[in-house]
Structure 1
């Protein structure tokens, strides 16, 4: 996947995060926030954005898992992907 495509996915997930926060459904995205990377940080590496996508996706799925059965499965998979991506991030 191209860096531009990853940034686009990152932006979409970031918009979901913002919506969840605005609706009061979720407030804690601390692991994602600790990465200190946003979709607008286009200068950051492809692997940085990939890790951010996996972690943010995991946190969104975690928030939604009590409401949707499949979200828990997605959360587990995203956690696995973020662990695999971690060694690639510098």
Structure 2
């Protein structure tokens, strides 16, 4: 993957991270290791490898959080009105 694609993907994962935090699915502590990397999506001078590491780490954190959230969901409950619909793709 090219660096500009990784930067874009990094930015998208950060948006998902913000959404997960707003929903209470993740906490600030979940991102400690990511913050230690000290690479943000707007760090355009960071190397491709730095962005790749950040993307992989964010994807792992969000994946674990989504899995935890799914495991904690009670079957048969209706979603609240403020929840966003899950995309079909």
Instruction: State the TM-score, normalized to the length of structure 1.
Output: 0.71
- Deviations 1:14-72 (CA, angstroms, capped at 9, x unpaired): 10001111122111211111111110001000000000000010000010112448xxx
User: Which residue does the alignment assign to 2:78?
Assistant: none
User: Which residue does the alignment assign to 2:59?
Assistant: 57
Q: Distance in 2 between matches of 1:3 and 1:17?
A: 21
User: Which residue does the alignment assign to 2:4?
Assistant: 4
Aligned length, in residue pairs: 69
Instruction: Give the alignment's Cα RMSD to 1 decimal.
Output: 1.3
User: Which residue does the alignment assign to 2:37?
Assistant: 35
Q: Which runs of 5+ in 2 are unaligned?
A: 72-89
Q: Which runs of 5+ in 1 are unaligned?
A: 70-90
Q: Distance in 2 between matches of 1:4 and 1:48?
A: 12
Instruction: State the TM-score, normalized to the length of structure 2.
Output: 0.72
Q: Which has more helix, going by share of residues?
A: 1
